[in-house]
Amino acid sequence: MIFRLDERLLFPEPSLAEEDGLLALGGDLSVDRLLLAYQNGIFPWYNNDTPILWYSPHGRFVLFPDELKISKSMKQVLRSRRFTITIDKSFEQVIEACAIAKREGQDGTWITDDMKKAYIDLHHQGHAHSVEVWEKDQLVGGLYGAAVGLVFCGESMFSKVSNASKTALITLCQSGKYQLIDCQVHTEHLESMGARLISRKEYMNILKNARAKS
C-alpha cells in the first residue's frame, strides 16, 4: 500500500514500503519534513512528471568508511595532489552540476528545481553538505547529501574528469565525521570501492545509534 501524505508532519512506518521501496507520495520538501524523513530512513526520489515520491528500501546500499577500498592507481592520483578539495564551499554549484550530469540509462534528472531549492535550504540550516573537487580553479567533481548525526545520506555526485568523484567520496570517508555513508542506489562504481547491501533493520539500528552519539 502506498500512503498519501498531507500537511501533517508524519510518515507511515517505513517497513510498510512496497517491494521497490516506495512508501508514500505527496507532502512537501520543507526542511522539517526532509529531516524527519532522513531520521526514519526515508528519502525523496521523483521527477517533474510525478508527485513527490518517498522511498525506504528494504535493503540499503551503504559504505562503511573503514571498509573503503582505494586502488593503487587511485592512491597515485591522491598522492599527485592533482586536485584541490574543499568542503561546503560551493554547495549550489555542486547540486547544479549533479542535476545536469549525463548518466547512462537515465533520461533527464530527478534533481528538479524544487529539489535543488529544498537541499539548498537544508544546507543553509547546516544539515546538507558538499565536497568539491577542483582542478586549476575549475570545479570538476563533487558530491552532496544530508547528514543525520554520524550518518551521511549521499544524494548525488558528478565528475567532469576521471577520478574526481572518487576523490570526493574518499575525502568524505576519510573526514572522520561519519560512521556510515548511505549510497541509496547500487552502482558497480561504488561497489568497487567497498559499498555493500545491508538490511533495513541493520541500517535503522545504525541510524538510531549514530543519532544518539552525535
Residues 179 and 161 in one domain: yes
Contact call for residues 82 and 127 (beta carbons, < 8 A): no
Contact call for residues 17 and 55 (beta carbons, < 8 A): yes
pLDDT band at 210 (very low <50, low <70, confident <90, very high): confident
3-class DSSP state of 81: coil
pLDDT band at 32 (very low <50, low <70, confident <90, very high): very high
- Digit-coded pLDDT (tens) for 171-180: 999 999 999 9
Residue 15: its pLDDT value, please? 94
- Digit-coded pLDDT (tens) for 42-53: 999 998 889 999
Contact call for residues 158 and 64 (beta carbons, < 8 A): no
- Among the candidates 22, 38, 58, a domain finishes at 58
211 vs 52: which has the higher pLDDT: 52
Contact call for residues 81 and 204 (beta carbons, < 8 A): no
Q: Which domain holds residue 163?
A: 61-213
Residue 1: its pLDDT value, please? 82
Contact call for residues 2 and 24 (beta carbons, < 8 A): yes
- Among the candidates 34, 58, 82, a domain finishes at 58
Distance CA 142, CA 43 (A): 20
- Can you name the residues that pair with 154 across neighbouring β-strands? 145
pLDDT value at 189 more than 90:
no
- How far is CA 19 from its chain centroid? 21
Residues 49 and 69 in one domain: no
